A and B are shown apart, each in its own frame.
Chain A
C-alpha cells in the first residue's frame, strides 16, 4: 500500500492507504476526526466539506493520495484553541443548525465563502451554499448565520 503524507489541522500525518481510499475515509477512519461526515454517495450533499490548501472541497471526491503534501483543515481545526471561529459562534447565535449532521460541512463552506467574497447578500449566500444540503433548517438561519459573519468582517 502506498504511503500518503499531509498536514491536517497543523499536524503532520502519514499513513499507508489503499489507493482507492477517499480523503474523507482517511480523515474519518485513519485520523478518527469524525466531525467530517458522509451524507451521500454522489458528491451532492456537502457534509464532507473540508479545506484543501485553503479552498473548500468535498473530501468524498478526492483520493487521499491526491492530497499528498496538502494542507488540510477540518472542522476540528477551525477553532483557534479554545476560541471558536466566528462562523461557529454565528451558527449557534442564529440557530443555523438543528440535527447538526450537515453543519460541519456547511460551516467549512461558509468560511471559504466569507474569506473569498465581498458584499455577500442573501442571494449570493444562497448561491454559495448550493453544494450543501440541509434537511432540517430550510436554510434561512444558515443564510442569517453566514450573513452576520460577512457583515462583521466588512465592518
Chain B
C-alpha cells in the first residue's frame, strides 16, 4: 500500500538523515587533491577608474600561484557576465546592459566589485597576498539611490548608458487607467518604498573548479539552484569550455532564495582559472563577501493611484516605479521589475484598467535580482497597501472592500488587463477562513483591552496572488526570456525494482527527495525507501532548468508524471505479452498491471525485472525500463490566499509584537502537507524580516555598504517571530497533471503588506518598511 507514503501524506523527509548527523555534503566539505585557494581582491570604492595595477609584490609572496585579472580573461577570450532576459522600452529600444567583465577592466562600479583573483597554496597565503596587490584608483562621483541615479545631472555610471536608464518599460492601457482616475468617486494616491534586502542563504556562495588535462574537462562544483543553466551560460556566453567538456555539480546547497540562480563573477573566474593554472581552485565566500556581492533584492520607489467608485469597487490602477538594478544587469534582473511585477498588479480583483511603467536605473551598488518572490512581493505590496488605504479613506472595512472586488469563483479562466490568465481560485473562501481563524469580529474588543493597557493594537490583511512555474516557453520567449522554462525528469527502474529519478530541478532545502519520491511511490507502488531522487549534477541528470519561482513541483513534478506515463505505457505492453492478453485489456493502478475481469496480474517490480532480463518479451518493445520526459507547462500557476496579522505596539518603546498570524493559502493539490507548511513558515519569516527588521543601506556620502555583517543587518531570529497558524484550501490547478500550484514564495510575497497594514492600522499613520522601533516610536509619539 502506498497511502502512508503517497500523495497527501506528511512523509518525514528522506534527506534529513545526512543533515542531522553532520554528513551533508556542502561545497566547503569537498576537497580535491592538490587544490589551491582563491581570494578575490575587491574594490573599496563605489566608483573609480583603475589607473594602475601592480601584483609584483603579491606574486613574490609565500605560496602564491597566480594573480589573475580582467585583462587576462579578456586575452583568453572569456566573455562578459550576461543578462538572460531582454526588455523592450516604451520607445521600442532594447534594454541597455553594459558589458560586465567577470573581473573589472578599467573601472570599478561598486564596493565589493571583483578586481583580481589571488590563488595560493593556502587560504591564509591568498589573503595575505591580496593585501599586497597595488591598485591605483581614481575615485569618481557615485550614486546609490535609484531616484538620485535617474535624476538630472546624476553621476554617469556607464559611458554608454545616458542618464543611467537601463529601460523604461510599460504594460497595460494608460489612457483607460487615467480616464478611470480622472472621473472616479475616490482616488487613493501613495508613494511606497519597497526596501532593499540581502538574501543571506546560510551557506555562502562558493566554487571549487578542477581541470582534467587528460580529458580536457572542467568540473565546477558551485552553489547553484540551476547547474545546467550555469553550464549553458558559462559555455555559450562566457566561453569557459564547450558544453560537453564542462560539468557543473551543485551538491547539497545551503539555501538559495533566488540568490544562487545567477551566474556570478566568482564561479566564472574559478572555472576559467583552473585550466589556466592546471590546479583545482577553491573559493568560499566569507559572509562579508556575501553581503557585498550576492545579488540583492527588491529596492523599488513607487507612486501609485487607485480609483474607486462610491461602493469601493476598483475602477482603475496606475503605477509608476523606479527599480534599482545595481551597477550591472544580473542574470534575470530585467525580468523581475517587469514581467514578474507588472503582470501581478491585478491582484485577486476585477480591475477594468491597469497601467504600469517601470524605469530601471543603474546605481553604484551590488546588482539586484530575484529574491524569494521576485517582483511578486513588490506587486503585492503595492496592491495590498493601496486597497487597504483606499478602504481607510473611504470608511469601508478592509475585509469587505476586498470581498467586493474579488474575482468570482465561477469567473475562470479569468483574463486580467496585464496579460495573465488565472486558471482557478476561490479568494472569498480563503478570506472567510482567515477571518474566522483570527476571530476578526472580536478584534475591536481586543483593541479596547490593549488601549486600556496603553498599547496600540492593529490588524492587517494581505490577499496576495502570485504567478509560479513561469511558462510556457514560447510565451516567455515572446516576452524576452533567453531560455525555455520547461523541466526534465528521468525515471529509471533498476532490474531489482528500485527506482532512481533524475530531476532537472534542484533542492536546496525544499525537500524534493521526499516529495518527488512520494509521487513515484503513489503512482507506481514502489516502497518509498526504494526511490532515490538525484539532482544537481550535469554529468548525471538530463538538461533541466533548475529551481526558482516555486516551479519545482508544478513543472518538475509534472515532468516526473509524464515520465511515469511512459513507464506505464511500456509496462502495459510487457504485461500484455507475459499475461497473454491484449494491451487494451491491461489495467494499471499503483504499480499493479492486471488483465481486466481476471485475477491475472504483474507487479511493476516483476515487469522491470522482465525488461532487463527479456527472455520472454514482446518483439516490438525495447529492453530496459528507463524513461525520460520533458514537460513544458501550458500556463503559469496562480497560488493565492489571505493572510491576517494582528500586532500590538508599545508606544513608549516603539516595539511591535506580532500577536497572531493566520495564513490561508490555496496551493492547489498538496503532496506533502508538512513540507508545504514549513515552506510557508520560512517565507513568512523572510517577509516579516523585510517589513520589521531587515534593510540594506548604502551610505550616500561614501557609497559604502553600511549593513555588511550580521552585526549591522538585522536577520530575523527565533525570538523575533510568532507562532504562525497555517491552513490551506485546495482548488486544483487546471493546467498541470498534478493540480499543484507551488508554495515556496507565498509567505514572502504576502507578509510585508499584511504586517505593514497591521502596524499602520495600530499607529493611525503611514510609515515605510522596515518598521523599526525608532520609526514606530516616532510615529506613535507624533514626531
Residue ID in chain A nearest B287 by CB atoms: A40
Annotate B673-715 by CB proximity to A: 1 below 8 A, 0 otherwise.
Answer: 0110110011111100000000000000000000001110001
Instruction: List residues of chain B with CB within 8 A of the CB of A129.
Output: 717-719
Known: A39-B287, A140-B724. A92 touches B22 (CB 8 A): no
Which one, B254, B286, B717, contacts A99 given CB within 8 A?
B254
Question: Which of B202, B675, B716, B717 neighbours the largest number of chain A CB atoms within 10 Å of its CB?
Answer: B202
User: Does B255 reach chain A (CB closer than 8 Å)?
Assistant: yes
- Stretch in contact with the other chain, from B12-20, B176-184, B466-474: B12-20
Within 8 A of A (CB), among B234-259: 252-255, 257
User: Does B203 reach chain A (CB closer than 8 Å)?
Assistant: yes
User: Does A103 reach chain B (CB closer than 8 Å)?
Assistant: yes
Say yes or no: B717 contacts A133, CB within 8 Å.
yes
Which one, B19, B257, B710, contacts A42 given CB within 8 A?
B710
User: Does A142 reach chain B (CB closer than 8 Å)?
Assistant: yes
B-side residues, CB < 8 A to A, are 12-13, 15-24, 26, 28-29, 124, 200-204, 252-255, 257, 286-288, 508-511, 674-675, 677-678, 681-686, 709-711, 715-719, 721, 723-724, 747
Say yes or no: B684 contacts A138, CB within 8 Å.
yes
Say yes or no: A101 contacts B723, CB within 8 Å.
no
User: Does A16 reach chain B (CB closer than 8 Å)?
Assistant: no
Question: Which of A38, A47, A78, A101 neighbours the largest number of chain B CB atoms within 10 Å of its CB?
Answer: A101
Say yes or no: A92 contacts B201, CB within 8 Å.
no
Residue ID in chain B nearest A133 by CB atoms: B715
Summed over the interface, the residue pairs from A and B with CB atoms below 8 Å come to a total of 175
Residue ID in chain A nearest B252 by CB atoms: A100
**Chain A contact residues: helix, strand, loop or mixed:** loop
Nearest chain A CB to B261 CB, angstrom units = 15
User: Does A45 reach chain B (CB closer than 8 Å)?
Assistant: yes
Say yes or no: A130 contacts B718, CB within 8 Å.
yes
A147 CA / B510 CA spacing, docked (Å)? 24
**Chain B contact residues: helix, strand, loop or mixed:** loop
A-side residues, CB < 8 A to B, are 18, 28, 33-42, 44-45, 47, 74-76, 78-79, 84, 88, 91-93, 95, 97-104, 107, 122-123, 125-127, 129-130, 132-143
Which one, B24, B683, B718, contacts A126 given CB within 8 A?
B718
Instruction: List residues of chain B with CB within 8 A of the CB of A139.
Output: 681, 685, 716-718, 721
Question: Which of B22, B24, B200 neighbours the largest number of chain A CB atoms within 10 Å of its CB?
Answer: B22
Say yes or no: A97 contacts B717, CB within 8 Å.
no
What would 8 A/B residue contacts be, using CB atoms closer than 8 Å?
Answer: A45-B710, A75-B22, A97-B13, A97-B19, A98-B678, A98-B682, A102-B254, A138-B684
Say yes or no: A92 contacts B13, CB within 8 Å.
yes
Question: Which of B28, B124, B252, B681 neighbours the largest number of chain A CB atoms within 10 Å of its CB?
Answer: B681
Residue ID in chain B nearest A108 by CB atoms: B22
Say yes or no: A42 contacts B711, CB within 8 Å.
yes
Instruction: List residues of chain B with CB within 8 A of the CB of A95.
Output: 12-13, 674-675, 677-678
A127 CA / B720 CA spacing, docked (Å)? 9
Instruction: List residues of chain B with CB within 8 A of the CB of A41.
Output: 286-288, 709
Which one, A38, A76, A88, A130, contacts B717 given CB within 8 A?
A130
